Amino acid sequence: MSGSDSAPFLSQADDTDDGPVPGTPGLPGSTGNSKSEDPEVPDREGLQRITGLSPGHSALIVAVLCYINLLNYMDRFTVAGVLPDIEQFFDIGDSSSGLIQTVFISSYMVLAPVFGYLGDRYNRKYLMCGGIAFWSLVTLGSSFIPRERFWLLLLTRGLVGVGEASYSTIAPTLIADLFVADQRSRMLSVFYFAIPVGSGLGYIAGSKVKDVAGDWHWALRVTPGLGVVAVLLLFLVVREPPRGAVERHSDSPPLNPTSWWADLRALARNPSFILSSLGFTAVAFVTGSLALWAPAFLLRSRVVLGETPPCLPGDSCSSSDSLIFGLITCLTGVLGVGLGVEISRRLRRSNPRADPLVCAAGLLGSAPFLFLALACARGSIVATYIFIFIGETLLSMNWAIVADILLYVVIPTRRSTAEAFQIVLSHLLGDAGSPYLIGLISDRLRRSWPPSFLSEFRALQFSLMLCAFIGALGGAAFLGTAVFIEGDRRRAQLHVQGLLREAGPTDDRIVVPQRGRSTRVPVSSVLI
C-alpha cells in the first residue's frame, strides 16, 4: 500500500457503528486466543511495506516536522525576548504585556478543535501547508504596526494561532503512523526537543537581531522567511501514511472515523487521557508564565542588585538575561526531554505505569526548585540561574512522554481530535491565561506599594510563586493517571486490532431471530 498523497484532499470517510466484536477476549462468548491480544510490532521491512516509505524517508519526514516545530516555538518566544522593548514602544504595563501571549494562546486554543477534526478526516500535509503559509504572512505583517495601534498587534498575534493550531494538532499523529513502540518514543523525543530548543532560540534571536539591527521590529521578520522554507519542505518531502496501519494485525479491518461527538464521548470516558491532559495543563501554566516573564524578572533582579541600570522610557532595554535564559531553555530542554524518555523507557520493563510516574516525579521535583529560584533572586543571581536550570530540566521531562501517553491510549482515528482537546484544555486553564494572570497580580501588588524598582521586582516575584503551587497540582494529576494507564492502553490496543469496539448511543439493541438468522434490532421495536 502506498503512503503517498493519493487520499483526496476533501474526501469524507464514512462513519461506522461501534459494537462488540464476537470472539473478543474478555467478553462473554469469547473464543479468541489470549495471545492475539498482544500487538504486533512490525520490523523495518514491515513498516516500509505498510507505510510505503523507506526508513530513511520516514526519518526525513520527522526531521522536517521537527524543524517546523522548532520554528513555531522560536516565533512564539521571540516576542518574549524583546518584551521590555515592546512595553517601551507601545507604552504598556505588565497586564497588557501578558495579554500579548494570552490573545495568541486563546486563538490557538479555539482553532485547535477545528484542525483536530479536519486532521482526523482529510489530508494532513495540505492542512499544515496552508496553516503555516498563513502564519508566516501574519507574523511578517505584525512587524510593521505603528506605536498607536497596540490593538492591531494583539489581533495579528491572535491570527498567528491559525498556523500553530494547524500544525500542533496534526504533526504528532503523522509520527504515530510512521513508527511504533520504542521507535515512536525516540522519534517523539526528537520532535519535542524542538519545543525547548525553539523557545530558547526565540529568546536568543529576539535579543540578538534587535541588537544587530538596532530595532526590535526586525526580530519578528526572521521566522516568516524560515516559514516559506518550511512550506516547501512539507510539500516536497512529507507523504501521508495510512492512519493506524502500523498498529493493526495484518488480518484486522482498517479503522474508519466516527462522528465528532462520538470521538468526544470516547475521550471523556478515557481517564488516562483526561488526567494526563490536566497534568500537562499544569506544565503549560508554568512554562507559559516563565516563558514570558522570566527574562523581565531577571532584569528587575539585576536592577535591584545594582548590576544593571534600570530600563527608562525612551531608552533601549539592554540586558543579557534574554540570551542567558534562552541558552538555559535550550540546554535544559534537550537534557530534560532526553532524560525523561530514557528513564521512562528503562522503567517500562519492570513497571507498565512508568510514563505517568516519571511525569509526576518531574513536576513534583521542579516545584521546589522554581520556588527557590524566585526566593534567591534578591540575594544571588547565580543561585537563581542554578535553580532555574534544575527546575526547567525536571519540567522538560514531561513533553515527549505526555505525547506518547496520548498516542497509545487513544485510537488512531481520534488522535488529532485528542491532540486538539488536550491543547484546548492545557491552554484554557494553562498558558492562555497564566501570563496575563501573573501580570495582573504583579500590577495589583505594585499599586499597593510605594513606586520603586524594588516594588516592581517584589510584585513580579510574588506573583510568579504561584507557578510552584500549580506544578505540585499537576504532579498529583499524573499520579492519578498511573492508576488507570494499564487498562486504557489495553482497550486502545484491542480496538486497533479489531478485537473490541466501543458501545455507542445507538447500541441499545438486542439480537432476535428473523428468517433463520440473527438480527440486531432496537429494544424499542420489540413488544414484551
The answer to whether residue 99 sits within a structural domain is yes
Compute φ and ψ for 513, nearest 5 degrees: -75, 135
The residue segments making up the domain with residue 147 are: 44-245
Residue-level pLDDT, tens digit, the chain, 528 residues: 444 343 433 333 333 334 444 444 433 333 344 333 445 555 566 666 666 678 788 889 888 998 988 888 888 778 877 777 787 788 777 678 777 877 887 787 788 888 888 887 888 888 888 888 888 898 888 888 888 888 888 888 888 887 778 887 788 888 888 887 777 778 887 887 777 788 778 877 777 787 787 777 888 888 888 888 989 998 888 888 777 666 665 555 556 667 878 888 889 999 999 999 999 999 989 988 887 788 888 888 888 887 777 766 555 555 677 778 878 888 888 899 889 988 998 898 899 999 999 999 999 999 999 999 999 888 888 899 999 999 999 998 988 898 889 888 988 888 878 888 888 888 788 877 788 888 889 888 888 888 888 888 889 889 999 999 999 999 999 999 999 999 998 988 887 776 666 555 444 444 445 555 545 544 344 433
108, 164 contact by CB (below 8 A): yes
Helix residue spans in 448-508 (DSSP H): 453-464, 466-496
Which cell goes with 299? 532584569
Give residue 210's identity as a one-letter amino acid code.
K
The answer to whether residue 218 sits within a structural domain is yes
Q: Which stretch of DSSP H or E encloses residue 239?
A: none
- Three-class secondary structure of residue 511 per DSSP: strand
For residue 41, the tally of other CB atoms under 10 A from its CB is 13
Q: How far, in Å, are 242, 255, 453, 454, 513 from residue 17 at the CA level?
A: 21, 11, 64, 64, 21
Residue that terminates a domain, selected from 183, 212, 245 = 245
The answer to whether residue 250 sits within a structural domain is no
The answer to whether residue 450 sits within a structural domain is yes
Which cell goes with 252? 484486522
Predicted pLDDT of residue 1: 42
Q: Which stretch of DSSP H or E encloses residue 324?
A: helix 321-347
- Residue 210 is classified by DSSP as H
Predicted pLDDT of residue 222: 84
Predicted pLDDT of residue 51: 67
Question: Radius of gyration (Cα) for the chain, nearest Å?
Answer: 25
Query: Alpha-carbon distance 296 to 292, whole Å?
Result: 8
Give the number of domains in the chain: 2
Task: Note whether 178 and 292 are same-domain residues.
Answer: no
Predicted pLDDT of residue 42: 57
Q: How far, in Å, are 153, 207, 215, 217, 323 from residue 211 at the CA level?
A: 22, 6, 7, 11, 11
Whole-prediction pTM: 0.67
**CA neighbor of 460 nearest in space, from 187, 93, 128, 11:** 93
187, 160 contact by CB (below 8 A): no
Q: Which residues of 207-240 are buried (b: 16+ CB within 10 A; e: fewer)?
A: bbbbeeeeebbbbbbbbbeebeebbebbeeebbb
- Residue 20 is classified by DSSP as P
Which cell goes with 343? 528513564
340, 398 contact by CB (below 8 A): yes
- Three-class secondary structure of residue 11 per DSSP: coil
Task: Note whether 444 and 360 are same-domain residues.
Answer: yes
Predicted pLDDT of residue 20: 42
The answer to whether residue 11 sits within a structural domain is no
Domain of residue 90, CATH code:
1.20.1250.20
Q: How far, in Å, are 70, 303, 304, 393 from residue 181 at the CA level?
A: 24, 50, 51, 25
Task: Note whether 148 and 289 are same-domain residues.
Answer: no
Task: Note whether 238 and 287 are same-domain residues.
Answer: no
- Residue 465 is classified by DSSP as T
293, 97 contact by CB (below 8 A): no
